[in-house]
Amino acid sequence: MKLKVVGIFTLLALLVASAVCLAEVPTEGLVVYYPFDEIAERTVEKVQEDDDGEEVVVEVQQRIFADASPNGYDGVLNGTAGMTTEGVVGNALALDGEKDTLFILPVEIFENKDQVTISLWLKYYNYQDYQTFLHFTSEEKIIYYFSWLIMGRSYGSLRGVYSDVDQMAADIEVEEWTHLAVTITADEVTYFMNGVQLGSPYSIQKPLADLTPIRFAYVGYYAGRPFMECDIDEFRVYDRVLSLEEIQALLEQGQ
Ligand SMILES: [Ca+2]
């Protein structure tokens, strides 16, 4: 009898352990991770021209969200970008749609990469064409951008520029948190919403590796498009393609 009880407890312990294991957030290949839980300040030195056209070094104050990965890729809040306490996990990045309001990423996050996975939680506040939640442009003007609504369609779309096919039907609810993931290889991009793959992988004409050096990388804005009114949480980039199970583990930790 005693043996049987011990056996049952062992089985239960194993089941709990495996459940915890399933939900574990992947760490292998993690390039950057923003929990968006606390705004910090830093002073950086920038070179700019003075009134006489001479280059001078000036100190600039910046508001940042720290990178929680070991890589130190802190991101900079621009304009009226701020924080909301109503995140998926703790607080979240809050963008109010005002001019110049965006989150600036270090370009190194996407430089010299053959493949990446991007994972984030997104909450929209209104539908506006071409609101772009992630965008990066190379020095040679190769553009990757990812937005949800294209050409006034009543359903969501995702787009990576220079992919062959970039429209797909996928419901996204305004004012609700949605988990999005994008995997990019040398020649394909695949989209996932709430842990489900959307359609088939799409071909990319310009491989990610060709983007280096990158000129800028933004969350919440793409040149000439509306600034986004949205909240974003748990933003991660990996330098490898995550499996569906790993993407679902990222989804689970926010549920
Ligand atoms: Ca958070």
- Rounded to whole angstroms, the Cα distance separating 93 from 133 reads 12
Q: How far is ligand 1, taken at its centre, from the CA of residue 90, in Å?
A: 4
Taken in order 15, 20, 26, 28, is the CA torsion positive or negative? negative
Q: How far is ligand 1, taken at its centre, from the CA of residue 91, in Å?
A: 4
Residue 20: inside a domain, yes or no?
Answer: no
Residue 15: inside a domain, yes or no?
Answer: no
Domain CATH for 230: 2.60.120.200
Residue 8: inside a domain, yes or no?
Answer: no
Instruction: Look at residue 149 in the predicted model and tell me its pLDDT.
Output: 56
Q: How far is ligand 1, taken at its centre, from the CA of residue 105, in Å?
A: 17
Residue 19: inside a domain, yes or no?
Answer: no
Question: In sequence order, what E strands does 50-147 have?
Answer: 55-65, 75-78, 82-84, 92-96, 102-105, 116-124, 132-138, 143-147
Residue 56: inside a domain, yes or no?
Answer: yes
Q: How far is ligand 1, taken at its centre, from the CA of residue 104, in Å?
A: 17
Residue 5: inside a domain, yes or no?
Answer: no
Q: How far is ligand 1, taken at its centre, from the CA of residue 59, in Å?
A: 29
Instruction: Look at residue 119 in the predicted model and tell me its pLDDT.
Output: 96
Instruction: Look at residue 15 in the predicted model and tell me its pLDDT.
Output: 53
Q: How far is ligand 1, taken at its centre, from the CA of residue 139, in Å?
A: 32
Instruction: Look at residue 231 in the predicted model and tell me its pLDDT.
Output: 97
Residue 116: inside a domain, yes or no?
Answer: yes
Burial (0-12, 13-18, 19+ Cβ within 10 Å), 61: exposed
Q: The domain containing residue 67 runs over which residues?
A: 28-252
Q: How far is ligand 1, taken at its centre, from the CA of residue 34, in Å?
A: 8
Residue 18: inside a domain, yes or no?
Answer: no
Per-residue pLDDT of the chain (255 residues; tens, 9 = 90+): 555 555 655 655 555 555 545 568 999 999 999 999 999 999 999 998 988 999 999 999 999 999 999 999 999 999 999 999 999 999 999 999 999 999 999 999 999 999 999 999 999 898 777 778 888 889 988 888 777 655 444 333 444 444 433 444 456 778 999 999 989 888 888 888 899 988 778 777 788 888 899 999 999 998 888 899 999 999 999 999 999 999 999 999 888
Question: At a CB cut-off of 8 Å and minimum separation 6, what does 31 contact?
Answer: 69, 71, 73, 109, 113, 116, 237, 238, 239
Q: How far is ligand 1, taken at its centre, from the CA of residue 151, in Å?
A: 31
Number of domains in the chain: 1
Q: How far is ligand 1, taken at its centre, from the CA of residue 3, in Å?
A: 45
For the record, the structure tokens of 177 come out as 């948190």
